[in-house]
């Protein structure tokens, strides 16, 4: 649609969330509610978006600005109602088609936005409102019809007994021709039970001024679920989770227990990968084909190539190449890159390190700020000692190195190709190629000692 402008209402406090975090920043899976609304608009082809912020405006603005480029913001200092909120967009709404969305309806889809735009355009409406039919209309504005046509919207708090019975309600999604909206704003008052400037009243004003008000009845009421409480947040999460899991399963991913599997919208998973129960996959994570993930694994913004097994582990901003196994109980921290055919075993933590192909770090080891070659074997209990309380230093470990159990590698230090360290060594000096470094006291046996001390 030409000249489409999106206004997203996000200035309200969200009192019913009982939270210090502004409502629209609460997360459904790994993304803020306002984020979904912005993305649905963008996916529908809108690139002119203005978010109305108010309550904790700096926090809302900064969070969204970090995530999305090219979003405009307008501030509503006092929350005087949804109509007043849209007015704050000022020049942004002076012309074109103004699509109004709420920041607290994260389930809306791009398809629905596109459909609304085409209904609005083909019917040549002055304004088109999306309605939905619900079993329990409590809390919503009711759509009052006259001979099937739009008459007005009555808010719950202003509804008569008869009007309260109506179960066709306002979703809070509309598209206006700018000139009709601006003209209606001139007449909009706040003479209602809440003393607010209701956006909903502009529709009746437009109708009375001879404009054409259309109603598009939504097929799927879930899409317009407004999240006003933590209970509703959990319901929105359930819907979003099911949507994402369903899509992935239809694309060939095995999810053995969708109910306990939480996958973010931006996560990509190739077919024939199996996700076992209790997994959270988040951010821009990409997982290849034929992997086995879980049970009980959390992967955030990481890249996992094909045929990788990860169980009961946590990965954050890490990269794992093909045919590698991770876990159980491993922790891969930011900027870790694990090569192909590696083994990262139990109680191993890796941070800011490169581990090349075929290397095994099987148990109870910390590798931080290190560059590790191919086919290295780490004995149990190895620690890279990379921090002196002030600065961090790197360890460099060559190819085919064998690190004995319980070795401390005090950085900066380099272990050259094919070198060995003896178990229990604290290595502080570089170790040359093909050599064995022993850095521990020799064992001395004091024979008969027990009898002597007991005498
Ligand atoms: C609103 C509609 C109602 C509709 C429902 C759908 C009005 C008067 N009522 O009611 O008809 O059925 O949405 O969910 O529009 N906001 C501001 N500034 C304000 C007031 C609100 O930015 O001054 C924002 C809120 O942050 C929220 C959105 O507008 O994102 C909707 O406000 P809310 O108070 O939740 O309206 P409802 O009572 O749900
Ligand atoms: Ca609401």
The share of the chain scoring above pLDDT 90, in percent, equals 98
Ligand 1 atom closest to the CA of 141, numbered from 1: 11
Q: Which of 26, 84, 120, 363 is catalytic?
A: 363
Ligand 1 centroid distance, CA of 12 (Å): 8
Residue 281 has pLDDT above 70, yes or no: yes
For 277-304, what is the mean pLDDT? 98
CA of 228 to the centre of ligand 2 (A): 6
Question: Taking each helix axis from N to C terminus, what angle separates 33-43 and 110-122, rounded to the nearest 10 degrees?
Answer: 50
CA distance 328 to 192: 61
Q: Tell me the mean pLDDT in the region 306-311.
A: 99
For residue 115, the CA-to-ligand 2 centroid distance in Å is 22
Predicted pLDDT of residue 336 = 98
Q: Is 363 a catalytic residue?
A: yes
Q: Whose CA is nearest to atom 8 of ligand 1?
A: 198
Q: CB of 83 closer than 6 A to ligand 1? A: no
Atom of ligand 1 nearest to the CA of 85: 18
User: Does the Cβ of 101 fall within 6 Å of ligand 1?
Assistant: no
Mean pLDDT of the chain: 97
Q: What is the mean pLDDT of residues 423-450?
A: 96
- Residue 346 scores a pLDDT above 70: yes
pLDDT in tens, 169-197: 999 999 999 999 999 999 999 999 999 99
Whole-model pTM? 0.93
The predicted pLDDT at position 454 comes to 81
Cβ of 414 below 6 Å from ligand 1: no
**Ligand 1 atom 10: residue of nearest CA:** 140
Contact, 225 vs 105, CB < 8 A?
Answer: yes
455 pLDDT higher than 70: no
Distance CA 93, CA 1 (A): 16
Number of C-beta neighbours around residue 251 at 10 A: 11
The yes-or-no verdict on residue 354 having pLDDT over 70 is: yes
- Checking if the pLDDT of 13 tops 90, the result is no
Residue 382 and residue 355 in contact, taking contact as beta carbons nearer than 8 Å:
no
Q: Quote the strand ranges of 16-116, DSSP E.
A: 27-28, 31-32, 49-53, 71-75, 97-102
For the CA of 201, the closest atom of ligand 1 is 8
| Secondary structure of residue 197 in the 3-state scheme | coil
CA–CA separation, 246 and 258 (whole Å): 8
Give the ligand whose atoms come closest to the C-alpha of residue 171. Answer: 1
């Amino acid at each position: 649609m030409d000249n489409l402008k999106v206004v997203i209402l996000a200035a309200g406090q969200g009192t019913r969330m009982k939270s210090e975090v502004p409502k629209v920043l609460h997360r459904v899976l790994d993304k803020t509610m306002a984020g979904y609304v912005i993305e649905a608009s963008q996916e529908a082809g809108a690139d002119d978006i203005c978010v109305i912020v108010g309550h904790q405006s700096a926090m809302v603005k900064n969070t969204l600005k970090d995530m999305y480029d090219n979003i405009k913001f307008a501030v509503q200092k006092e929350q005087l109602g949804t109509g007043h909120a849209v007015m704050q967009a000022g020049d942004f709404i002076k012309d074109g088609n103004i699509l109004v969305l709420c920041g607290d309806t994260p389930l809306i889809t791009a398809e629905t936005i596109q459909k609304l735009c085409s209904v609005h355009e083909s019917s040549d409406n002055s304004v088109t409102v999306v309605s939905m039919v619900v079993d329990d209309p409590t809390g919503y504005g009711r759509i009052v019809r006259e001979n099937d046509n739009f008459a007005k919207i009555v808010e719950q708090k202003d509804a008569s007994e008869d009007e309260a019975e109506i179960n066709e309600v306002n979703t809070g999604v509309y598209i206006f021709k700018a000139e009709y909206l601006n003209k209606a704003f001139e007449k909009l008052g706040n003479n209602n039970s809440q003393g607010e400037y209701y956006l909903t009243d502009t529709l009746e004003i437009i109708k009375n001024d001879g404009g054409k008000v259309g109603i598009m009845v939504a097929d799927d009421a879930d899409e317009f679920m407004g999240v006003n409480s933590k209970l509703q947040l959990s319901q929105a999460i359930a819907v979003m989770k099911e949507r994402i899991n369903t899509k992935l399963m239809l694309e060939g991913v095995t999810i053995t227990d969708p109910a306990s599997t939480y996958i973010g919208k931006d996560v990509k998973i190739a077919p024939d990968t199996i996700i076992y129960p209790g997994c959270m996959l988040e951010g821009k994570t990409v997982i290849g084909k034929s992997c086995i993930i879980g049970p009980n694994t959390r992967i955030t913004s990481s890249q996992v190539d094909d045929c990788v097994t990860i169980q009961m582990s946590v990965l954050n901003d890490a990269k794992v190449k093909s045919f590698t196994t991770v876990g159980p109980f491993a922790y891969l921290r930011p900027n870790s890159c694990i090569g192909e055919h590696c083994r990262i075993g139990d109680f191993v933590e890796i941070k800011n390190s490169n581990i090349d192909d075929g290397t095994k770090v099987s148990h109870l080891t910390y590798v931080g700020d290190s560059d590790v070659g191919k086919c290295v074997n780490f004995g149990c209990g190895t620690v890279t000692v990379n921090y002196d309380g002030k600065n961090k230093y790197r360890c460099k470990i060559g190819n085919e190195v064998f690190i004995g159990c319980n070795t401390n590698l005090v950085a900066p230090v380099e272990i050259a190709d094919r070198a060995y360290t003896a178990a229990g060594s604290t290595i502080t000096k570089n170790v040359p190629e093909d050599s064995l470094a022993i850095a521990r006291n020799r064992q001395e046996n004091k024979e008969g000692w027990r009898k002597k001390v007991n005498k």
